[in-house]
């Protein structure tokens, strides 16, 4: 026989009450809609418009805010925050009463027998008999426990948002983080023991954070990291930030390893898994007009590409032989044909003991020679080969 809290039997004798309306089947109703009172003993909520303190506070906010646009907001985050902001917070007494109702429902659900097709009524009677309740009392306890669970979730959604904001810019949008944190909050509501003597928010924080961090570990990366690796990486990042504030510089691997009680090799291996893969098709540059893949050198070029580059180098050398020694040197230095490091006109002038303007004149004369049709035809095929 399962003991159900007295608040679940409150009111006139449960057996004499008409059975409550059967709750709709399906998922839990929208958590952002404030629910009505769930059980006797919960203080009746005074409408916000009748509270003098809230009226004065709202008037002060309106004065500070200035003219308000009456156009409806389309920002989903803003709408969600406004919606959950209308839900009243729970007092300690309400929290305990609701938690007892939820725990009573969880104990009843643990006794639920497997349902057989076409025998729901008989299974309900067996369930009530196993719990030591009448079918009407069983329905009432389940209904009140479900509404209590919804109320506790609604009243703590602000806590979910506060925790989710700490994990932004890590691969998931804020609303996705809030959704995962709300699932963790639901688990916390189901497992909270009000007899331990601490507030629910203290207990729920851990479940909310676990839901968010597990989602980040499994959904934020293209290549998923194991949960324990993600948690170790988070601890390393946290300690790095703390040591940076204390030391005024970036901490070394040895300092981080000593602070965590790990070996330096373990810290290095974990940090090597930190970078995230980036698409080669990602658009980069100030105008977002260049593919990242176009800027990366391929260390595994095909033999045909290597041969083409060698031929291009030979043809360029033949073109430079048509120039004077000073002109060829300026072109090589200006475009980095020798060491892939282009030089400025000033740097070339210092090397040749010439002025910047004189180097510019030599460069212009050399380019004019190279643009002649008989020279340009040598490299035209390379320009349109696509290699």
Alpha-carbon torsion 255, 261, 262, 267, what sign?
Answer: negative
Full DSSP string of 351-377: HHT--HHHHHHHHHHHHHHHTSHHHHH
Q: How far apart are CA 294 and CA 284, in angstroms?
A: 10
Residues 149-184 pLDDT 10s: 999 999 999 999 999 999 888 878 888 999 999 999
Residue with more model confidence, 360 or 274: 360
At residue 96, the pLDDT reads 92
Residues 276-310 pLDDT 10s: 666 777 777 777 777 777 667 666 666 777 777 77
Place of tokens 């497997």: 114
Percent pLDDT > 90 in the chain is 20
At residue 191, the pLDDT reads 92
Q: Are 20 and 139 in contact (CB under 8 A)?
A: yes
Go through the domains of the chain in sequence order and give each one's CATH number: 6-20+75-114+121-219 (1.20.120.1810), 227-272 (1.10.10.10), 304-383 (1.10.10.10)
Residue with more model confidence, 231 or 204: 204
Residue 204, Cβ neighbours under 10 Å: how many? 25
Measure the CA angle with vertex 262, ends 260 and 266; round to 5°: 125
**Beta-carbon-side half-sphere exposure of residue 300 (alpha carbons within 13 Å):** 0
What integer best gives the mean pLDDT of the chain?
77
Residue with more model confidence, 11 or 282: 282
- Pull the structure tokens for residue 100: 């007892």
Among 246, 181, 253, 249, residue whose Cα is nearest residue 212: 181
Model confidence at 12, pLDDT cuts 50, 70, 90, reads very low
Residues 107-127 pLDDT 10s: 998 888 775 454 566 678 888
Q: Are 115 and 78 in contact (CB under 8 A)?
A: no
Does 332 score more than 80 pLDDT?
yes
At residue 163, the pLDDT reads 93
Residue 53, Cβ neighbours under 10 Å: how many? 7
Residues 190-224 pLDDT 10s: 999 988 888 899 999 999 999 998 888 777 766 67
Q: Which range, of 103-107, 280-284, 363-367, averages the lowest pLDDT?
A: 280-284
Q: How far is CA 345 from CA 326, 331, 361, in A?
A: 14, 11, 10
- Pull the structure tokens for residue 41: 């003993």
Model confidence at 34, pLDDT cuts 50, 70, 90, reads very low
Contact partners, residue 140, CB within 8 Å, separation at least 6 = 8, 14, 17, 19, 20
Q: How far apart are CA 119 and CA 138, in angstroms?
A: 17
At residue 301, the pLDDT reads 64
H-run or E-run covering 267:
helix 264-272
Does 51 score more than 70 pLDDT?
no
Q: How far apart are CA 132 and CA 108, in angstroms?
A: 10
Place of tokens 């658009």: 283
* Count of residues making up the chain: 387
């Amino acid at each position: 026989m399962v003991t159900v809290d007295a608040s679940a039997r409150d009111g006139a004798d449960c057996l004499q009450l008409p059975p409550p309306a059967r709750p709709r089947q399906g998922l839990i109703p929208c958590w952002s809609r404030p629910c009505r009172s769930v059980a006797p003993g919960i203080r009746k909520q005074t409408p916000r418009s009748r509270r003098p303190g809230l009226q004065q506070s709202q008037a002060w906010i309106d004065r500070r805010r200035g003219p308000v646009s009456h156009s409806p907001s389309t920002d989903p985050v803003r709408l969600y925050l406004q919606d959950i902001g209308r839900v009243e917070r729970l007092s300690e007494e309400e929290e305990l009463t609701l938690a007892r109702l939820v725990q009573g429902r969880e104990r009843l659900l643990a006794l639920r027998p497997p349902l057989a097709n076409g025998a729901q009524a008989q299974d309900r009677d067996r369930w009530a008999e196993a719990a030591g309740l009448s079918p009407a009392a069983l329905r009432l306890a389940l209904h009140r426990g479900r509404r209590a669970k919804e109320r506790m979730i609604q009243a703590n959604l602000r806590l979910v948002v506060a925790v989710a904001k700490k994990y932004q810019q890590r691969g998931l949008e804020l609303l996705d983080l809030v959704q995962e944190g709300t699932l963790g909050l639901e688990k916390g509501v189901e497992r909270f023991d009000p007899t331990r003597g601490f507030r629910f928010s203290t207990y729920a924080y851990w479940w909310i954070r676990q839901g968010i961090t597990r989602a980040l570990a499994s959904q934020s990366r293209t290549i998923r990291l194991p949960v324990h690796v993600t948690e170790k990486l988070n601890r390393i990042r946290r300690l790095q930030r703390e040591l940076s504030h204390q030391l005024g510089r970036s901490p070394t691997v040895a300092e981080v390893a000593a602070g965590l009680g790990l070996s330096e090799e373990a810290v290095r291996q974990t940090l090597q898994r930190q970078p995230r893969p980036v698409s080669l098709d990602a658009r980069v540059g100030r105008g977002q007009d260049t593919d990242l893949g176009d800027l990366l050198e391929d260390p595994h070029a095909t033999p045909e590409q290597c041969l083409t580059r060698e031929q291009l180098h030979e043809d360029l050398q033949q073109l430079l032989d048509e120039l004077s020694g000073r002109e060829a040197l300026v072109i090589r230095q200006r475009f980095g044909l020798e060491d892939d490091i282009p030089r400025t006109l000033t740097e070339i002038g210092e090397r040749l003991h010439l002025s910047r303007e004189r180097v510019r004149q030599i460069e212009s004369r050399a380019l004019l020679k190279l643009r002649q049709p008989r020279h340009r035809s040598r490299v035209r095929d390379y320009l349109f080969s696509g290699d």
